[in-house]
Amino acid sequence: MRSGHRLPVTRRRWETPDGDFVDLDLLPAEPGAPRVLVLHGLEASSKAGYIAEVFRQACLRRWQAIGLNFRSCNGEPNRLATSYHSGSTADALFVARKLREAAPAPLTAIGFSLGGNILLRLLGETGDAAPIDAAVAISVPYDLQTCARALDSPGGWFWIYRSRFLRSLRKKALEKSRRFPQLFDRRAIRSASRIEAFDEAVTAPLNGFASATHYYAQCSSGPILNRIRRPTLLLNAKDDPLAPSPVPPEALTNPNLTVVATEKGGHVGFVSGSLFRPRYWAEQQAMDFLSRYTASS
């Protein structure tokens, strides 16, 4: 229910090495200002309310903010049969490296939910070579299997989230199936009434995984948190219904990670203040954390 921003954002399209494209929404700033790359959650975009809040926080600090729209999340179908998934780090890494090459100013990142999982995977996979100076991951599903089963649980709130996600995912998959009929099972797409069923029918086979279980195991961020070599804040709420898996214990020994688990906050919520004057605590905490590391860069 959050409102979007009305900041002077410019959209740029970057061609990717595999012949596709990604769209970025850019909040301008003075040359040399710190930058924050922001990654959205499942079937959202850089217009999401939580992305807008990061942009507002960046504007207050005179930072540049860059919102990456994952493929097919910009309001336009991407060119290839594949789009994005919870472990697809290639586009985020491509954008981060290109931003790093373009200017020497500090480059940080914030990822929400699925975008947070992608960000943590990127940091773990690149280790000491990560092109990001510091990062924050909010409401991340460290175990994708647990998250999928939570979304597939009975109950009104789960049904609302699941229905919203599946409506968008099925629509996009059916549109892709008309362009790439040999790669999609239209009957399986239409009949998928659970997240795991959709991942079994579409996400896994389309991206080279043997099954949804294989996809979840290979793309969860939890198992590689100990490989992260950049200062990173992990921010989750204990009452998060969609990402109920806690931070893996072995990650707590990584000195590069700061773990914050609040009692309340829900999924990408963390709302304080009043009904008519809400304040969004997580985004402010994220920017405060990143500011500590850009000040000395």
- List b or e across 9-48, with b for residues whose CB sees 16 or more CB atoms inside 10 angstroms: beeeeeebeeebbbbbbbbebeeebbbbbbbbbbbbbbbb
Please report the pLDDT score of residue 5 as a whole number.
60
Please report the pLDDT score of residue 41 as a whole number.
97
Query: What is the distance between the alpha carbons of residues 188 and 200, in angstroms, rounded to a whole number?
Result: 9
**Tokens linked to 6:** 């009305």
Amino acid making up residue 77:
P
Please report the pLDDT score of residue 269 as a whole number.
94
Please report the pLDDT score of residue 297 as a whole number.
47
Q: For domain 10-143+221-294, give the CATH number.
A: 3.40.50.1820
Q: By the 8 A CB rule, do 229 and 129 touch?
A: no
Query: What is the distance between the alpha carbons of residues 285 and 268, in angstroms, rounded to a whole number?
Result: 13
Amino acid making up residue 121:
R
Quick count: other Cβ atoms within 10 Å of Cβ 245? 18
3-state secondary structure of 53: helix
Q: Give the residue numbers annotated as catalytic, written as ranges.
A: 113, 240, 267
R_g (Cα) of the chain, nearest Å: 18
Q: For the chain, where do the domains classified as CATH 3.40.50.1820 start and end?
A: 10-143+221-294
pLDDT in tens, the chain (297 residues): 676 667 889 999 999 999 999 999 999 999 999 999 999 999 999 999 999 999 999 999 999 999 999 999 999 999 999 999 999 999 999 999 999 999 999 999 999 999 999 999 999 999 999 999 999 999 999 999 999 999 999 988 899 999 999 999 999 999 999 999 999 999 999 999 999 999 999 999 999 999 999 999 999 999 999 999 999 999 999 999 988 888 888 888 999 999 999 999 999 999 988 888 889 999 999 999 999 998 754
pTM beyond 0.75: the answer is yes
Quick count: other Cβ atoms within 10 Å of Cβ 156? 7
